[in-house]
Chains A and B, each alone.
Chain A
Amino acid sequence: MTRTEERTETVGRLPGDRDMWIMVLGDMTIFAGYFVIFMIYRAMNRQEFLVAQQHLNITIGVINTVVLVTSSWLVARAVQAIRAGDVQKSIALVVSGGVGGALFMVLKGYEWASKIAAGHTNSDMFYSFYYVITGVHLIHVLIGLIVLGVVVRELRNPARRRAQMVEIGATYWHMVDLLWVIIFALFYVMR
Chain B
Amino acid sequence: MSTATRNRDVWWMTWFFPAWYAVFGVIICLLTRVTPPPRPDVTAAEKVAFFAQHHLTIQIGFTLLLILLGGAAMTNGLVCYQIKRMSVGSVFAYGYIGGMSVGALPGFLLVTVCFLTAAYRPDRNPELISLLYDLGMLSYNGSLGCFTAAYLVLAIAILYDRNEVFPKWFAYVSIWQIITEVIATQMFVFPSGAFAWNGSIAFWLAVVVFSVWLGALIVLLRRAAEEESAKESAQMVAAQ
A: residues with CB less than 8 A from B are 17-20, 22-23, 26-27, 30, 33-34, 37, 41, 122, 125, 128-129, 132, 136, 139-140, 143
A139 adjacent to B182 (CB under 8 Å) = yes
Q: How far is the CA of A143 from the CA of B179 in the complex (A)?
A: 11
Q: How far is the CA of A125 from the CA of B173 in the complex (A)?
A: 29
A128 adjacent to B179 (CB under 8 Å) = no
CB contacts (< 8 Å) of B201 on chain A: these are: 33-34, 37, 132
CB contacts (< 8 Å) of B167 on chain A: these are: 19
Sampled A-B contacts (29; CB under 8 Å): A17-B168, A18-B169, A19-B167, A20-B172, A22-B169, A23-B169, A26-B172, A26-B176, A27-B176, A30-B180, A33-B205, A34-B201, A34-B205, A37-B200, A37-B201, A37-B205, A41-B193, A122-B186, A122-B189, A125-B193, A128-B193, A128-B195, A129-B194, A132-B183, A132-B186, A136-B179, A136-B182, A139-B182, A143-B175
CB contacts (< 8 Å) of A17 on chain B: these are: 168
Q: Give per-residue flags for B205-240: 1 if the beta carbon is below 8 A from chain A beta carbons, else 0.
A: 100110010000000000000000000000000000
Looking at the assembled complex, report how far the CB atom of B158 sits from the nearest CB atom of chain A, in whole angstroms: 10
Dominant secondary structure at the B interface: helix
B20 within 8 A of A: no
Looking at the assembled complex, report how far the CB atom of B155 sits from the nearest CB atom of chain A, in whole angstroms: 10
Looking at the assembled complex, report how far the CB atom of B232 sits from the nearest CB atom of chain A, in whole angstroms: 27
Q: How far is the CA of A30 from the CA of B168 in the complex (A)?
A: 19
Task: Pick the most buried of B169, B180, B190: most chain A CB atoms within 10 A of its CB.
Answer: B169
Looking at the assembled complex, report how far the CB atom of B45 sits from the nearest CB atom of chain A, in whole angstroms: 27
CB contacts (< 8 Å) of A136 on chain B: these are: 179, 182-183
B: residues with CB less than 8 A from A are 167-169, 171-173, 175-176, 179-180, 182-183, 186, 189-190, 193-195, 200-201, 205, 208-209, 212
CB contacts (< 8 Å) of B193 on chain A: these are: 41, 125, 128
Closest to B168 in A: A19
Looking at the assembled complex, report how far the CB atom of A137 sits from the nearest CB atom of chain B, in whole angstroms: 10
Closest to A21 in B: B169
Looking at the assembled complex, report how far the CB atom of A146 sits from the nearest CB atom of chain B, in whole angstroms: 11
Closest to A140 in B: B179
Q: How far is the CA of A38 from the CA of B174 in the complex (A)?
A: 24
CB contacts (< 8 Å) of B173 on chain A: these are: 22, 26
A30 adjacent to B183 (CB under 8 Å) = no
B200 adjacent to A30 (CB under 8 Å) = no
CB contacts (< 8 Å) of A18 on chain B: these are: 169
Q: How far is the CA of A129 from the CA of B201 in the complex (A)?
A: 10
Looking at the assembled complex, report how far the CB atom of B4 sits from the nearest CB atom of chain A, in whole angstroms: 31
Q: How far is the CA of A30 from the CA of B181 in the complex (A)?
A: 13
Closest to A18 in B: B169
